[in-house]
Amino acid sequence: MKFYDRETELEALHNTYEQSLTSATFTVLMGRRRVGKTSLLLHAMEGKEYAYLFVSKDSEAMLCNKFQAILEQQLHLPIYGTITRFRDLFEVIMRESIKRHITVIIDEFQNLAKINAAIFSEIQDIWDRYHAQSHINLIASGSIMAIMKHIFEDKNEPLYGRPTSKFTLRPFSIAVLKQIFADHCPNYTNEDLLCLYMITGGVAKYVELLMDAGCYTKEKMLNYVCRLDSYFLTEGRDVINTEFSADYNTYYSILQLMANGSNRRTDIDGALQKDCGTYLTNLEKNFGMVVRLKPLLASAQSKTSSYEIADLFLRFWFRFICPYQSLIESGQLKLLRTNINTHYERFSGKTLERYFQTLLMESDEFSQVGYWWDRKGENEMDIVAINEFTHQGLIAEVKRNEQKINLHALSEKADKLPSAEFGRYQFRLCGFSIKDM
């Protein structure tokens, strides 16, 4: 699959590169596994001289030996003797950047923590001593969000405040997902698009796998997921294993409960017979795997809330793959596929809500998009969107089947919106179905 989109990110990397010609820059790029960070960086550096250093799980001496060879080959950087400590290698790089402009990409940067606990303090020391005279374009990329945030956003950590730019790479937007699908299969259906969105969530690697395999229909996509050699059968576990260390089973259980519809804190606590507050906070704040949903415009202190898995692929994996490992291990993949068929319509209906919420947010027409329900958990509305500047709003019901949309009932629910928060908005009511995708 060819390279798509990322114009904004490429522009940011270009601007940083230009700045580094006269003063040192330190860019931090974060994003989940498979979202396309490495492809973005290599595409941005096409035609430029740079060194790409991937932090594998080796000893510090072996890693430095590999990096030394790469720097000599890709940057023609003469390094005398054998370097066994990263701090010494990094100091050679920084000294060279005083003489000439260089770009160095360090991929899976967070893995350095496992190699030497003091390594980030050493990087801080060297950066602080040399960066004022340097012409380096240093890029640190990492896929374990919790650790990357800890390294660069915790004010007690040595590298806090050192980056000159920082951004997170997101999955493809819906517009780009449509463009990719249309390039590969101009006559795709909306049902096919919904399935692609449900499985991949716009994550570049997952989209690429399905497109390159010629899986352009809902049936072919789901068949691919349930193949004996399917990448998707183990990918959810691989994603989770990179993030979690302690209390692995508890996090797994919480995500399985959410995928099956247990979204309230009380339901999760009850099912696991323990207080899950800390785990939920970690999943939301540190790992970014779940989002806490509150009625739109509810106060920060509001106890009216629920949770859902933020990542669409993980939501799909925890619902249809994770609970059925015994079927996978015994090769009963037809049963796995049949189970997806049985529950597909209901599950994809919830995905359709996420689709239209995301679409409205990406339209730049609204400043906030979310759900709304009252304190009793009633009068729930699938979409409430507002523009805080024009005071225009939209309330929508989302159904797979357009015949099931009831705008009269939606109007009655809309009348329940508290005037203190919503009184200044002019709302229009509408319904969205698969036909509107």
Question: With contact defined as beta carbons under 8 Å apart, do 177 and 63 qualify?
Answer: no
Distance CA 118, CA 85 (A): 11
Three-state SS at 437:
coil
For residue 103, the surrounding DSSP H or E stretch is strand 102-107
Integer Cα distance of 397 and 404 in angstroms: 10
Q: Render the burial of 125-149: b for 16+ CB within 10 Å, e for the rest.
A: ebbeebbeebbbbbbbbbbbbbbbb
Predicted TM-score (pTM) of the model is 0.92
* 213-216: Cβ within 8 A, 24+ apart: 216/181, 216/184, 216/185, 216/188, 216/192
Whose structure tokens read 């330190």?
26
Q: Between vectors from CA 39 to CA 37 and to CA 40, what angle results, nearest 5°?
A: 65
Vertex 210 angle, CA 208 and 212, to 5°: 65
What pLDDT is attached to residue 239? Answer: 86
Residue 246: its pLDDT value, please? 67
In the chain, the amino acid numbered 84 is T
Cβ contacts of residue 417 below 8 Å, gap of 6+? Answer: 372, 384
Nearest of 354, 84, 318 to residue 202 by alpha carbon: 354
For the chain, residues with pLDDT lower than 50 are: none
Q: What is the pLDDT of residue 415?
A: 95
> Rounded to whole angstroms, how far apart are CA atoms 177 and 412?
35
Phi then psi for residue 386, to 5 deg, are -135, 150
Identify the sign of the CA torsion 335, 221, 213, 173: negative
Predicted pLDDT at 241: 82
